[in-house]
Homo-oligomer: A and B are copies of this chain.
């Protein structure tokens, strides 16, 4: 039976065809079955979907991936036969039954994930099985290696290779923009790839992009790192452990992350890291709520690292409030530059030199116990700023940039306290929501600038924070939201969230 190809732009990323459901019934095919496609030039295996009316009888809807795989044009004839399901589905079912999988079974699954051979249903069954039945450390090792090996691997000439990762959850955590230049200025190699924001106010890649392009392929990264010792690139530009990005699509809607540690370490394995420092922010709104949980995470990172040949050191950091005072791409880029220029807020400088110091000690650049001091000296000497400018230039940005000439949101409004007292809480989740409502991370200039610190005593009518935005409308929306959800809490006001007690007024 021959079908006429009809272009459809659905199910991007996966080879999928859509049949009229009466044709499907005739052929004994069900949604999510596989078929072998035979076109004039080339064949492929695709997943079946059905429709009552979207394609007519005798037609076959083909998406971009199928057209590419089969070299098809609209109206071309295709014939099809039922195909076997990928073998990896049997492995997924085995894991659902609670049986540990072997290295070759993880390899088969990750190959099919990476090649987009699995449907959303099958991917969900896989992550659900990992979430519910957990993985042994052996399995985590297999999965981590296979995620890396079924993707691009950097091949840097300079060794050893250092890296850092923050598991996230704290707004304003722009320390990468200090750590990378400090470490690189000390002569160590640090090829940092970072993510963009998914649910946070902004990711490191969003911040760095204010200063320079961040999208580079593997050989470009190799070249920049070879020249400068460092880079701050967007991870999405290079295909490191790509299975992770596909699995996230089904993990995100469920709010589960069973591969957390494996995902992080797969990317580090793929860049060839020898030593990694993991920043584990602990506190409200972060991914680690208690010290016990932080220690368990740390143990797992260290053990997994050992098993795959990466030395790991974990730093459990204070995550109960934003790092520094700025949240939002341009505001954070500005604050990071200011810190490199010698005028950073203490919480940012503290944390950045702490993390950089761990790497300096591991790299033999500083004696044991002297890493932080050494990092601070590199920062204060201006060498870190010079290195940052070198990296910005290598990435194609303007090396003459200063904190003064970073463009922040042109619309802004300050929010004042209605009473006085001690600042008892700065609420991470509220900060993130407000910054996003103001336009962050998409609108570079949008975000929040905090004017008070946790623990500080303030008077009535003090500026609590300032919201900046590239759009008047979004600024207005963000201000409205800020009144509702109160990002800054003063002593004694915490339980009085009825409208007449609002602490806002401007």
A interface, CB within 8 angstroms of B:
8-10, 12, 25-26, 28, 30-33, 51-54, 89, 92-93, 96-98, 119-122, 124-125, 128-129, 131-133, 198, 249-250, 252-256, 436, 442
- The residue that A54 contacts in the complex, of B10, B26, B129, with Cβ under 8 A, is B10
CB distance from A317 to the nearest CB of B (A): 27
Q: Which residues of B contact A120 (CB under 8 A)?
A: 120-121, 124
- The residue that A51 contacts in the complex, of B9, B54, B133, B198, with Cβ under 8 A, is B9
**C-alpha gap A198/B254 in the complex (Å):** 30
CB distance from A477 to the nearest CB of B (A): 11
**C-alpha gap A256/B131 in the complex (Å):** 18
CB distance from A300 to the nearest CB of B (A): 19
Q: Report whether B253 and A98 are in contact in the complex, using a CB–CB cutoff of 8 Å.
A: no
Known: A98-B132, A124-B125. A32 touches B252 (CB 8 A): yes
CB distance from A63 to the nearest CB of B (A): 9
CB distance from A179 to the nearest CB of B (A): 28
Q: Which residues of B contact A121 (CB under 8 A)?
A: 120-121, 124, 250, 253-254
Q: Report whether A96 and B54 are in contact in the complex, using a CB–CB cutoff of 8 Å.
A: no
Q: Report whether B32 and A253 are in contact in the complex, using a CB–CB cutoff of 8 Å.
A: yes
CB distance from A171 to the nearest CB of B (A): 15
The 6 closest A-B pairs by CB, nearest first: A32-B253, A9-B54, A128-B128, A124-B124, A132-B132, A121-B124
Known: A9-B53, A54-B9, A442-B26. A96 touches B128 (CB 8 A): yes
Name the CB-closest residue of B to A128: B128
**C-alpha gap A417/B125 in the complex (Å):** 46
Q: Which residues of B contact A8 (CB under 8 A)?
A: 54
Q: Report whether A28 and B436 are in contact in the complex, using a CB–CB cutoff of 8 Å.
A: yes
**C-alpha gap A9/B89 in the complex (Å):** 29
Q: What are 11 A-B residue pairs whose CB atoms fall within 8 Å in the complex?
A: A8-B54, A9-B53, A10-B10, A25-B442, A31-B249, A31-B253, A32-B252, A93-B256, A96-B132, A97-B132, A121-B250
Name the CB-closest residue of B to A196: B25
CB distance from A434 to the nearest CB of B (A): 13
**C-alpha gap A442/B22 in the complex (Å):** 10
**C-alpha gap A121/B249 in the complex (Å):** 10
Known: A128-B124, A252-B30. A9 touches B52 (CB 8 A): yes
Q: Report whether A96 and B249 are in contact in the complex, using a CB–CB cutoff of 8 Å.
A: no
Q: Which residues of B contact A9 (CB under 8 A)?
A: 51-54
Name the CB-closest residue of B to A473: B1
Q: Which residues of B contact A25 (CB under 8 A)?
A: 442
**C-alpha gap A133/B122 in the complex (Å):** 18
Known: A10-B10, A124-B128, A128-B129. A254 touches B93 (CB 8 A): yes
**C-alpha gap A164/B448 in the complex (Å):** 67
Q: Which residues of B contact A442 (CB under 8 A)?
A: 25-26, 28
Q: Report whether A255 and B132 are in contact in the complex, using a CB–CB cutoff of 8 Å.
A: no
Q: Which residues of B contact A33 (CB under 8 A)?
A: 253
Name the CB-closest residue of B to A248: B30
Q: Report whether B256 and A10 are in contact in the complex, using a CB–CB cutoff of 8 Å.
A: no
**C-alpha gap A33/B198 in the complex (Å):** 13
**C-alpha gap A132/B124 in the complex (Å):** 13
**C-alpha gap A129/B125 in the complex (Å):** 9
- The residue that A128 contacts in the complex, of B125, B198, B253, with Cβ under 8 A, is B125
Q: Report whether A122 and B253 are in contact in the complex, using a CB–CB cutoff of 8 Å.
A: yes
**C-alpha gap A254/B89 in the complex (Å):** 8
Q: Which of A12, A89, A92 has the most CB of B within 10 A?
A: A12
Q: Report whether B32 and A96 are in contact in the complex, using a CB–CB cutoff of 8 Å.
A: no
CB distance from A284 to the nearest CB of B (A): 20
Q: Which residues of B contact A198 (CB under 8 A)?
A: 30
Q: Report whether A52 and B12 are in contact in the complex, using a CB–CB cutoff of 8 Å.
A: yes
Q: Report whether A93 and B255 are in contact in the complex, using a CB–CB cutoff of 8 Å.
A: yes
Name the CB-closest residue of B to A30: B252
Name the CB-closest residue of B to A89: B254
**C-alpha gap A481/B442 in the complex (Å):** 58
**C-alpha gap A93/B119 in the complex (Å):** 21
Q: Which residues of B contact A253 (CB under 8 A)?
A: 30-33, 119, 121-122
Name the CB-closest residue of B to A119: B253
**C-alpha gap A104/B30 in the complex (Å):** 33
